[in-house]
């Protein structure tokens, strides 16, 4: 509450009905006097220390005075995630999480039913830390609120991207939360309580364990399960060991167009041998990815899934019309929009130059 000094707080006679009172606003009592009796009402005399900061988180990102401003597409993507978690579950709108889950269940069997696709085209490095910070800080503020989680599993298509995304760890020296002013210092320290695991989908493959001769393995592997191979629960414990037993986690899939299965009842497509081999390779990877997420859901529970992709559409060999936008996209900012907004580099089309003079090539600074 604001600090207001009132020299003489007495306005009324103790023997008559109160006729005047000091007015209260959102910050507390003021020196303004209203010429009537105060209406009966209830309020908290001491505000919660973090309540104002929690309410101001989105305002912190949209503040026009920021030195490092967020692009509109970045704010829109994060605000869409906020809407899906805090508003959509109580509505019957077309963009609700229920609608997204229904569409995904028809195309990707076995994936977590709570999944919602969120693929902004530009500025994902800003959107990831903002969305994870919003989720984690809300959960840390009220651990009973089932809409949020302070545990995250980030899945990437390869180890190069996995290593590059270490900036999502609050403990990393170059983390985006500090480097890009995602949070003020007090909230950044609090975010350190969140748990974040970053991995590539290949870690979902069941690994061999133990050592034994080939003949011994051949004899003992006659059952339904092999004693020399991880089961799904053991795989999840290995991959998610840094989550410290957290439940109902948030999954973030990067380059998420890699984790979609081929349409089950699709007719054979006319593909070249190279296209067919590529489609088969994608299908094998997608099954490992989505099967791993299903194991995570069964073992730990999944609160929600955010998919990010610069190409949120079906590819050739998927069984769907090539180039068709995924029907569960909830936030999209196209490459053309990004170019028109000055967010990405303007593409340059090379033109043949046959006007060489002399025996040396002409170099141009483009």
pLDDT tens, the chain, 366 aa long? 456 788 888 888 877 788 999 888 877 788 899 999 888 765 554 444 444 444 568 888 888 888 888 888 888 888 888 888 888 766 554 444 554 544 555 555 555 544 444 444 455 667 778 888 999 999 999 999 988 999 999 999 999 989 988 988 988 988 888 888 888 888 888 999 999 999 999 999 999 876 656 666 566 666 556 677 889 999 999 999 999 889 999 999 888 888 877 777 777 778 888 888 888 898 899 999 989 999 999 999 998 888 888 888 888 778 888 888 887 787 877 777 777 777 777 766 666 666 656 666 666 665
Angle at the Cα of 153 from the Cα atoms of 322 and 226, rounded to 5 degrees: 90
Quote the Cα angle for 72-180-339, to 5°.
35
Q: 3-state SS string over 318-341?
A: CCCCCCCECCCECCCCCHHHHHHC
Question: 9: exposed, middle or buried (C-beta count within 10 Å: 0-12, 13-18, 19+)?
Answer: exposed
The domain ranges of the chain are 1-47, 51-209+227-263+272-340
* SS3 state at 16: coil
């Amino acid at each position: 509450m604001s600090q207001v000094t009132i020299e003489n707080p007495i306005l009324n006679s103790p023997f008559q009905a109160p006729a005047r009172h000091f007015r209260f606003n959102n910050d507390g009592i003021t020196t303004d006097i209203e010429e009537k009796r105060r209406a009966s009402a209830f309020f908290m005399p001491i505000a919660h220390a973090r309540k104002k900061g929690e309410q101001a988180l989105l305002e912190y990102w949209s503040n026009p005075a920021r030195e490092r401003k967020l692009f509109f597409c970045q704010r829109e993507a994060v605000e869409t995630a906020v809407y899906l978690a805090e508003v959509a579950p109580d509505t019957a709108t077309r963009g609700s999480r229920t609608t997204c889950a229904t569409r995904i269940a028809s195309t990707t069997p076995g994936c977590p039913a709570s999944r919602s696709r969120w693929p902004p085209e530009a500025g994902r490095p800003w959107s990831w830390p903002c969305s994870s910070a919003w989720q984690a800080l809300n959960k840390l503020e009220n651990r009973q609120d089932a809409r949020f989680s302070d545990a995250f599993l980030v899945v990437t298509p390869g180890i190069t991207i996995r290593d590059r995304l270490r900036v999502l760890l609050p403990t990393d020296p170059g983390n985006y939360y500090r480097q890009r002013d995602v949070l003020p210092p007090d909230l950044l320290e609090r975010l350190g309580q969140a748990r974040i695991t970053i991995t590539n989908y290949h870690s979902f493959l069941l690994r061999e364990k133990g050592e034994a001769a080939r003949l011994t393995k051949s004899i003992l592997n006659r059952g339904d399960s092999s004693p020399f191979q991880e089961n799904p629960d053991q795989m999840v414990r290995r991959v998610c060991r840094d989550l410290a037993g957290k439940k109902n986690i948030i999954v973030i899939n990067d380059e998420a167009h890699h984790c979609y299965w081929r349409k089950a009842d699709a007719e054979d497509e006319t593909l070249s041998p190279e296209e067919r081999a590529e489609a088969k390779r994608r299908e094998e990877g997608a099954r490992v990815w989505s099967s791993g997420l299903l194991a995570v859901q069964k073992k730990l529970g999944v609160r929600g899934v955010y998919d990010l992709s610069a190409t949120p559409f079906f590819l050739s060999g998927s069984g769907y019309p090539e180039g068709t936008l995924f029907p569960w996209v909830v936030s999209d900012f196209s490459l053309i929009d990004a170019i028109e907004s000055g967010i990405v580099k303007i593409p340059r089309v090379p033109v043949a130059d046959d006007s060489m003079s002399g025996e040396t090539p002409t170099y141009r600074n483009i």
